[in-house]
Structure 1
Amino acid sequence: MYQQQFNEQFAAATRQFAETAARVNRLAIENAEQVFGLQIAAIEGNANATFAFWNQLTEARDFNGLRDVVPAGVQVTRENTERAIAAGQEIYDRTVKTNEAIAQIAKGEIEQVAAKAQAEAEKVVKTTAKKARR
C-alpha cells in the first residue's frame, strides 16, 4: 500500500516538475528568440547606414567632397551607437521580465510543494493521534 502511494506521489511530482521545466524552457526560448531578433535588427540597421556612408565616401573625388562627407560619418557613428544602446536596453528589459516570470513560476511551485507537504504532515499527525487514542 505504502509503495503504491509513494509511486503515485513520485509520478505526480515528476510530472509536475516536467511541466514546470517545459514552461520555464518555453519562456527562456521565447526570450532568446526576441533577443536574437533585436540584435539582428540593430546589426542590420547599423550595416545599412555604414554601407550607405561608405558609398558616399567612395563618391567623394576631391578634398571638398571628403570634407562634406565627414559630418555624415559622424552622424552615422552616433546613430549606430544609439541603435546599439537602445537594442541593449530593450534586451535587458526583456530579459529582466523573463527572469521575473521564471521566478514567479518557481515561487508558485515552491509554495505548492510546501502546502502539499504541510497537508501530508497534518494528515500523518491526525492518523497517528487517532491510533494513539485507541
Structure 2
Amino acid sequence: MFEQINTQSLALGKSYADAFVKAQGLALASFERITELNLKTFEDRVKASVDFWSEAAEVRDFEGAKAISAKGVQLAKESAEKLYANSQEVLGVSLKTSEAIGALAKGSFENTNETLTKTVNAAKKATGAR
C-alpha cells in the first residue's frame, strides 16, 4: 500500500514539475519577446531623436527655429504614439502568456483530479471486495 502511495506521489510530483517547467518556458519566451519589443522601440526613438537634434544643431536663423520647432512637436507626437502602440503590444503578449499559463495550470489540476478520483474509486472497489 505504501509503495502505491509513493508511486502516486512521485507521479503527481513529476506532473507538477513538468507543468512548472512548461510555465517557466512560456514566461521566459514572453519576457524575451517583450524585451525585444521594448528595445526595438527604444532604438527607433533614439534614432529619431538623434536625427532631430542633429538637424536642430544646424539651425542658424529664426525661420530655421520655427521649422525645427514644428518638427520637435511632430517628434514628440510620434514618440507618444509609438510608445503607446508598444505598450499595447506588450500588454497583448502578457495577456497571451497569462492565458497560456492559466490553461497549463488548469490542465495540470484537472489531470491531478482525475488521477486522484481513479485512485479513490479503485481503493473503494478494493475495500468493498473484501
* Residue 84, structure 1, aligned to residue 83, structure 2: yes
- The TM-score, its normalising length taken from structure 2, stands at 0.96
Question: What is the aligned-residue identity percentage?
Answer: 28
Map 1:1-134 to 2 at 5 A. 2-131=1-130
State the 4+ residue runs in structure 1 displaced beyond 6 angstroms. none
CA RMSD in angstroms comes to: 0.9
User: What is the CA-CA distance between 1:63 and the residue it aligns to?
Assistant: 1.4
Ranges in structure 2 where 5+ consecutive residues have no aligned partner: none
Aligned equivalents of 1:69 and 1:9: distance in 2? 72
Aligned equivalents of 1:27 and 1:12: distance in 2? 23
Corresponding residue pairs, total = 130
- The TM-score, its normalising length taken from structure 1, stands at 0.93
Aligned equivalents of 2:124 and 2:12: distance in 1? 22
Ranges in structure 1 where 5+ consecutive residues have no aligned partner: none
Q: Secondary structure at the match of 2:57?
A: helix
Higher deviation after alignment, 74-83 or 2-11? 2-11
User: What is the CA-CA distance between 1:21 and the residue it aligns to?
Assistant: 0.7
**Larger relative CO (CA 8 A, sep 6+): 1 or 2?**
2
User: What is the CA-CA distance between 1:125 and the residue it aligns to?
Assistant: 1.2
Aligned equivalents of 1:26 and 1:73: distance in 2? 42
